[in-house]
Amino acid sequence: MSEEKLALLAKVASLYYEKNLTQAEIAKRLNISRPQVSRLLAEGRQEGVVEIIIHHPTTKSVSLEQNLLNRFALKEVKLLASGHLGYAQLIERLGVLAARHMEERLEDGMILGISWNSGVYQVVNALRAARRKKVTVVQLTGAVGSINPLIDGPDLTRWLAQTLGGQYKYLPAPLLVESKATREALLQERSIRETLTLLDQMDMALIGIGSLSPALSSLLLAGYITEAELREIIRQGGVGDICSYHYDLRGNVLPLELHRRLIGVSLEMLRKTPYVIGVGGGIDKASAVLGALRLGVLDCLITDEIAARAVVKMSDL
């Protein structure tokens, strides 16, 4: 990166973090758009111009962590002492907690799969550029394309790989196609086959635990399903999704026709991956977290203490 560009990143960061100007005020001062300011701030973190270290408290409830470890045969549990945070603050802090954990676990030469949603975005956003690992980052599911590109698979994959100093591999296909026949035809494409082969060799995966709340449902927000279709999924017992595979509270995958039209990692691939990190929290996501744990794909759960207590309580019923 040129010295001129680095100087711009530093200037924008200084105005925002040191002078406490808003993004709109910076945009006006520099005669650029507000989205450009947002991108420059994100780029400053990626390039190591800015390093933000926030020491959020983790829970001291060792017994709660141990309960989850034993009850769901997990390898690790990381709990955030969330208090009464709003959802946006909660997922941001969970992202920091997950990022620190990933930095400890990642090793050179690993193949790392990454899904997409706002929670996964927060993890990538919190990773520190200074701690680089020569990993290959692979997109777990096809691209959504119709939502904020920052939280879509291709951009997250590239961003994470650049932050870690590694390589990346796209899955050049949409997340959901029109028919099973279209899916089967696309799976014959060489570039798609090559990516799926890499997914079958993953050492680690980072996945978001999706909610079926209309305000949080990734497929609804992306326009792939309607509110009526979401209500039908919920009527069938759906509580959450992992990589767009929907499941009920018992961890059973729902018999949905849309599952036959998905392009991406399979649940079987995730189950054979040595270390799968699932990120999700908040009391409204507790049922999605419980179903995900019973689905049997997670090795590490990163959530908050309030959601964890609700999960334990529900699993006793």
- Do 156 and 298 reside in the same domain of the chain? yes
34/256: higher pLDDT: 256
C-alpha–C-alpha distance, residues 85 and 91, integer Å: 9
- Maximum Cα interatomic distance, the chain, rounded to a whole number of Å: 61
pLDDT at 130: 47
Overall residue count recorded for the chain in this entry? 317
Residue 207 confidence class, pLDDT cut points 50, 70, 90: very high
User: The domain containing residue 20 runs over which residues?
Assistant: 1-50
Residue 90 confidence class, pLDDT cut points 50, 70, 90: very high
- Do 29 and 176 reside in the same domain of the chain? no
- pTM recorded for the entire structure: 0.81
pLDDT at 165: 87
- Do 88 and 201 reside in the same domain of the chain? yes
pLDDT at 145: 73
- Do 194 and 299 reside in the same domain of the chain? yes
Least confident segment among 84-98, 242-256, 275-289: 84-98
- Do 22 and 123 reside in the same domain of the chain? no
Q: What mean pLDDT is predicted for residues 265-271?
A: 97
Our count of domains for the chain comes to: 2
- Do 153 and 18 reside in the same domain of the chain? no
- Do 117 and 30 reside in the same domain of the chain? no
Domain boundary pick from 14, 33, 50: 50
Q: Is the pLDDT of residue 211 over 80?
A: yes
Q: Is the pLDDT of residue 1 over 80?
A: no
Q: Is the pLDDT of residue 60 over 60?
A: no
- Do 12 and 119 reside in the same domain of the chain? no
Q: Is the pLDDT of residue 291 over 90?
A: yes
Amino acid at 280: G
Q: Is 294 helix (H, G, I), strand (E, B) or coil?
A: helix
pLDDT at 218: 81
Select the highest-mean-pLDDT range: 45-59, 107-121, 262-276.
Answer: 262-276
- Do 2 and 73 reside in the same domain of the chain? no
Work out the angle between the directed axes of helices 153-164 and 34-46 (0-180°, nearest 10). Answer: 40
State the burial class of residue 64 (Cβ atoms within 10 Å of its Cβ: 0-12, 13-18, 19+).
Answer: middle
Q: Is the pLDDT of residue 40 over 80?
A: yes
- Do 102 and 178 reside in the same domain of the chain? yes
Domain boundary pick from 50, 69, 91: 50
* CATH at residue 22: 1.10.10.60
Residue that is written with structure tokens 């603050």 in the block: 89
**Six-digit token string for 49:** 């111009």
As a whole number of Å, the CA-based R_g of the chain is 20
The per-residue pLDDT of the chain, averaged, comes to 90
pLDDT at 56: 54
- Do 191 and 277 reside in the same domain of the chain? yes
Domain boundary pick from 9, 31, 50: 50
Q: What percent of the chain has pLDDT over 90?
A: 66
- pLDDT tens per residue, range 160-206: 998 888 999 999 999 999 999 999 999 999 999 999 999 999 999 99
- Do 235 and 106 reside in the same domain of the chain? yes
Beta pairing, strands 300-304 & 167-169: unpaired
* CATH at residue 279: 3.40.50.1360
287/127: higher pLDDT: 287
The sign one gets for the Cα dihedral 190, 191, 196, 200 is: positive
